[in-house]
A and B are shown apart, each in its own frame.
Chain A
Amino acid sequence: MSYQPDEQIKQDYIQNKLSPEAKTQFEMWLLDHPEAQQDIHIDLMMKAGLKEMAQEQAQPSSRSWWPAVGMAAALLLVVSVYIMPQSGRSQKGMIAPAVTYVSQVRSAEQPVWTLKKDLDNVLQIPTAYLSSDAHQVMVTGSETMAIKDLLPSNDLLTVLIPKGTLSVGPHQLEVTNQVNQEKQVFEFIIKE
């Protein structure tokens, strides 16, 4: 018997509520039904447009925080530059940290990242597209350190681990979305 999606399936597709299998089946059906494509396309335009409108409306209130957050971050940077011990790489009060992009890969076996103990390490962790959810980042191992209410910028969480903070050995980085409690766990090793 040929597949014929009902109203509920079409609504669920627009709202992204179909299972992967049902979604694939519906999309394959859609290829042969241009009139349904047209209708769904209008629905998707409405959805995207309304989302953008909602984001624009939400911006003024949230934006008012950003100058304060930005100034605080700048102040923190300036202070940390002065109080941190100067490494061989630093020149005229500036620091060139080691930047590590920590993300999960599709293969079953996740990589183990390596960080140098004598470097300031900046970790960047990708978040969901356009997410504005607060996150908690926690490092566990011989030491434990954590930061809460971290907001992504350009779909990235960025944290700095100052040099010498963690001792040599294996550590775990746990990133938790504080809204939906989704967790990502990464392994890394601090080496001399």
Chain B
Amino acid sequence: MMILRNTQWHLTENTSGGAPCVNQLSLTTEKGMDSGKEQSAQKKSQLLSLLGAVADGDKVACQQFVTDHYQWLVIIVRQQFPYSDLYLDIVHDAFGLTIEKLRAGEIDKLESIKYYLRTAAINIGYSYHRKDQKFRSDMNQDLIHMIHDSGQTVMDDISWAETMAFVKDVMSDMTVERDQEILKQFYLEDKDKLTVCQNLNITPDHFSRVLFRAKSRLKSLIEKKGQTSNVVSMFRNVPSWVLILTAVWMQ
């Protein structure tokens, strides 16, 4: 009889599309865990190699570094400074500063680069909002162009104004006033799901459906615009089950 230790069961998605369902159970054993550790070690080794190349001034490596972290850093900055249209400037400056420090050999723990990048972005963001803006003018122009080009491979930016217009369209498309109120209370008034449900006398399922529909509508408006932004490309690459699971997650 085989004894399984450290066994974990994972649900995997239905890759044929349609409604989400559990159609496969996979088994992870100790061997699988070892494999996970190996992957982690390999990933770390690849990152260190990439950063080494960035430090040596390899342009392709720089672009790869930006590509790998761009979307993530945009989210961090947008979350930290949610109502600022300066977020792309902040992101660009954070990459610029980090790459300059890498090239100058001033970052000791390369494996912690993500912490450095995140902290740089947040500090630069605060600097912008204090109106110092000292990073904006200090950037090497070649580096700015290079980062911008790398960013473009990930994201042909949707302008701030367009984003705002899309959200307005989503809201105006919602004919039921209560549904609009759900979005306002959740996103604008930062009320949690249960409070919103109690306030509006709706079920958690209804809350999740409304959010799901609104987010899907926003996504489709962006796609319709025909832009190849990160949001578009990411949704093109992501199966529909992710969005469906979003609805489940919100419940």
Asked whether A and B interact, the reply is yes
Give the docked Cα–Cα distance between A155 and B78 (Å): 19
Q: Which residues of B have CB within 8 Å of A97? A: none
Tell me if B129 and A38 are in contact (CB < 8 A): no
Q: Does B124 contact A (CB under 8 A)?
A: no
Give the docked Cα–Cα distance between A10 and B214 (Å): 17
A interface size (C-beta, 8 A): 39
Give the docked Cα–Cα distance between A45 and B83 (Å): 10
Tell me if A50 and B171 are in contact (CB < 8 A): yes
Q: Which residues of A have CB within 8 Å of B190? A: 15-17
Q: Which of B102-110, B136-144, B234-242 contacts A (4 or more CB under 8 A)?
A: B234-242
Report if A7-B164 is in contact (Cβ < 8 Å); known contacts: A44-B82, A46-B215, A129-B83: no
CB of A164 to closest CB in B, whole Å: 30
Q: Which residues of B have CB within 8 Å of A48? A: 78, 82-83, 163-164, 167
Q: Does B184 contact A (CB under 8 A)?
A: yes
Report if A47-B187 is in contact (Cβ < 8 Å); known contacts: A41-B230, A130-B83: yes
Q: Which of A27-35, A75-83, A84-92, A135-143 contacts B (4 or more CB under 8 A)?
A: A27-35
Q: Which of B17-25, B51-59, B243-251 contacts A (4 or more CB under 8 A)?
A: B243-251
Q: Which residues of B have CB within 8 Å of A53? A: 164, 167-168, 171
Tell me if B218 and A50 are in contact (CB < 8 A): no
Tell me if B242 and A50 are in contact (CB < 8 A): no
Q: Which residues of A have CB within 8 Å of B246? A: 39
CB of A98 to closest CB in B, whole Å: 19
Report if A46-B72 is in contact (Cβ < 8 Å); known contacts: A7-B249, A39-B242, A53-B168: no
Q: Does A37 contact B (CB under 8 A)?
A: yes
Interface residues of A in 96-116 (CB under 8 A from B): 103
Give the docked Cα–Cα distance between A46 and B71 (Å): 17
Q: Which residues of B have CB within 8 Å of A169? A: none
CB of A150 to closest CB in B, whole Å: 19
A54's nearest neighbour on chain B, judged by CB, is: B188
Q: Does A162 contact B (CB under 8 A)?
A: no
Query: Which of A17, A40, A129, A155 has the most B CB atoms < 10 Å from its CB?
Result: A129
Task: Identify B234's interface contact among A10, A38, A54, CB under 8 A.
Answer: A38
Give the docked Cα–Cα distance between A43 and B219 (Å): 11
Task: Identify B166's interface contact among A16, A49, A126, CB under 8 A.
Answer: A49
Q: Which residues of B have CB within 8 Å of A44? A: 75, 78-79, 82
Please name 27 pairs of A and B residues whose Cβ atoms are closer than 8 Å in the assembled complex, sorted by A.
A8-B192, A11-B192, A11-B193, A13-B79, A30-B72, A30-B75, A31-B114, A34-B71, A34-B234, A35-B242, A38-B234, A39-B215, A39-B246, A42-B215, A42-B219, A43-B187, A44-B75, A44-B82, A46-B218, A48-B83, A49-B167, A49-B168, A51-B188, A53-B171, A103-B130, A129-B81, A130-B83
- List residues of chain A with CB under 8 Å of any chain B CB: 7-8, 10-11, 13-17, 24, 27-28, 30-31, 34-35, 37-54, 103, 126, 129-130, 155
- List residues of chain B with CB under 8 Å of any chain A CB: 69, 71-72, 74-76, 78-79, 81-84, 114-115, 118, 129-131, 163-164, 166-168, 170-171, 183-184, 186-188, 190, 192-193, 214-215, 218-219, 230-231, 234-235, 238, 242-243, 246, 249-251
